[in-house]
Every structure is written in C-alpha cells, then in structure tokens.
Amino acid sequence: MKHHLPTTKNLQAFLATAQHLNFTHAAQALNMTQGALSRQIQALEDVVGVALFYRQARGLSLTPQGSKFIPLVEDILTRMRNAMLEVAERSNRIKLNAPSCLTSWLLPKLMSFQQFYPDIEVELTSSIKHQVLPNFDEFDLVILYGKPTQSLSVTQYVLFDELLTPVCSPELWKVTLDDDWQESDLSRFTWLHADIEQQDWKLWIKSRNSGLQKAKRNQTFSTLDQAMNAAQQGFGIAIGDITLAKQDLNMNRLMRPFETAVASGQSYCLLRPEQAQETSIDSFINWLLEQSAT
C-alpha cells in the first residue's frame, strides 16, 4: 500500500459503486461521468494496493477485500461528517463553568445575552466546590473565586470583588429583634456558615471590633448558595456578598441590617486561555463585563 491517503472523493466513489455494482448507475448517483468514477476507483485501488472489484463481462462484483473495506469506509466518512458538525456547532457554542453560588446572578445575564446574540449558545455548568485552577480541557471559559491569578497562560477579567455583610429574611429580623437592638443581639440568631472554618463570620466580627464573639446556635452548609437559601427561608442570619445578594435584597427576600460591608480580598474572575481568539467568546466576555459593571 502506498503511503498517501485516499481522498473523500475516492471513498464516496467506492461506496456508491459497491452499492450499485454498476459504474453507470454509481456515476449518476454522484452526478459525475462514468469515466471520472472509474478513475476514482482505480486511484483508490492504487492507494490500498489491492483490487476492490472484479470487473467481469456481466458486471461488477466485490472482492473479499472490497467487502471488508465497506464498513471501514462508512465509519471513516461518518466520523468525518460528525467532526465537521462538531466544529461548526462549537464555533457558536461557549462552554462556561462557574461556581453554583453565581447562578442567580449569572442566569439573567445569560438570558439577556441570548436575546441579543441568538446564534451563540452558552452552555453553563455549575461547580459546587471552588476550583483552584481553571479546567480548559472541558470549558472555553471558567469563572473562579479567589485572588486574581498571576498565570501567564490565561487572560483574566475581574467581574467583581467580594464584599460581605450579614443578611437575613425581613420577617425573621422583625420577630427576633425590636427597634432598640444592639450589635451584640446578633448572637440571638442562628448563624449560617458556608464553610466549616466560619471564615466569613470571623472576618465580619474582626472588622466590627464590637466585642461580638459568636452565636449560641450555628448551622454549616457546604456551599454559599445553600446558606443564602436558608437565610431567605428564615432559618438564621448569614454572611453574604452584596453583589450576589442584590436581586434578593431588591425583591425584599433578604435584608441587610448594616450599610457597611467588609472586603474579603477575594474576587470572582472570568478566565480564558491566553491563546484563545474566537469572535463568539469575545462577544460574550464584552457583554458580561458590561453587565457586571451595572
């Protein structure tokens, strides 16, 4: 067998000829002349180094090698079609990975983007645990929580910095405290934590310097969105990011007793591979950055 590969025309000509076992009918099916089809078959046989058809006076028939070659060629052409479809679809599909706590903040922005860019699909996958490194093997864009990366292999965009403050349901606040409440009265609530180390509450207490130490009752959750959901339902008071809680605050599902918020030093950053240059991704990034600024 020669070292170069057959062309797709060679393979298509072979399948048509194997189906019809007639050069004339196969040529008509492919909208080409009988001579051109015969040359395609001859070129394919030269490449593979064996005869694929018996050419007899009463017509064509497949050689054993030709019969064996049919499913292989069908598989090759099917894989090629699927690969072309995948490339075409992927050019207008963006795979985005983000922490689950961003879902309520992110979904309205994705829906708005879809209205302005109906031909670009954003496929969102949520992660329960915060990742340390972006996974660009499976995703085109990744949103990470933490300190902005210094990696030279990625381009990053800070969506917003984390600002923390206590939040709870308005109904729970009215039932638990009167108008003359003191900051120390916060200990009367069940404190809701998004991590076992209770870092957010510790940071808030340190920033207030009010002598408040800890609550009598505590409940720990595995994610921030679980803790915030519990706060909405009146189970206690949580420490939440004011950007992520904005919609719930505006709709009066949550309230913030304090106007001040403490910066945690962490941010939510959108990351992309340094070498990635795609129009659809650029459009989405610009849109998300614009929406994040409002």
Separation CA 32–CA 170 (nearest Å) = 77
Q: Could you tell me which of 270, 282, 290 has the C-alpha nearest to residue 157?
A: 270
Inter-residue contact 147 to 267 (CB < 8 Å) = yes
pLDDT tens column, 201-216: 989 888 887 667 778 8
Distance of alpha carbon 217 from alpha carbon 49, whole angstroms? 81
What pLDDT score does 182 carry? 85
**Which of 34, 48, 29, 37 has its CA nearest to residue 13?**
37
Amino acid at 215: A
Domains of the chain from N-terminus onward: 8-90 (1.10.10.10), 93-159+267-292 (3.40.190.10), 163-265 (3.40.190.10)
* List of the chain residues with pLDDT < 50: 1
**In this predicted structure, what is the pLDDT of residue 80?**
86
Tokens encoding 122 = 């954003």
pLDDT digits (tens, 9 = 90+) for 142-190: 999 988 776 668 889 999 999 999 999 999 999 988 888 888 888 889 9
The β-bridge relationship of strands 262-273 and 141-146 is antiparallel
pLDDT of residue 74: 92
What is the model's pLDDT at position 278? Answer: 72
Say what the pLDDT of residue 214 is.
76
In whole angstroms, what is the distance from residue 165 CA to residue 70 CA?
68
For residue 96, the number of C-alpha atoms closer than 13 Å in the C-beta half-sphere is 24
Residue 84, Cβ density class (10 Å: 0-12 exposed, 13-18 middle, ≥19 buried): exposed
**CA of residue 256 relative to chain centroid, distance:** 32
Q: What is the pTM of this model?
A: 0.67
Residue 99 near residue 259, CB atoms below 8 Å: no
Contact call for residues 146 and 231 (beta carbons, < 8 A): no
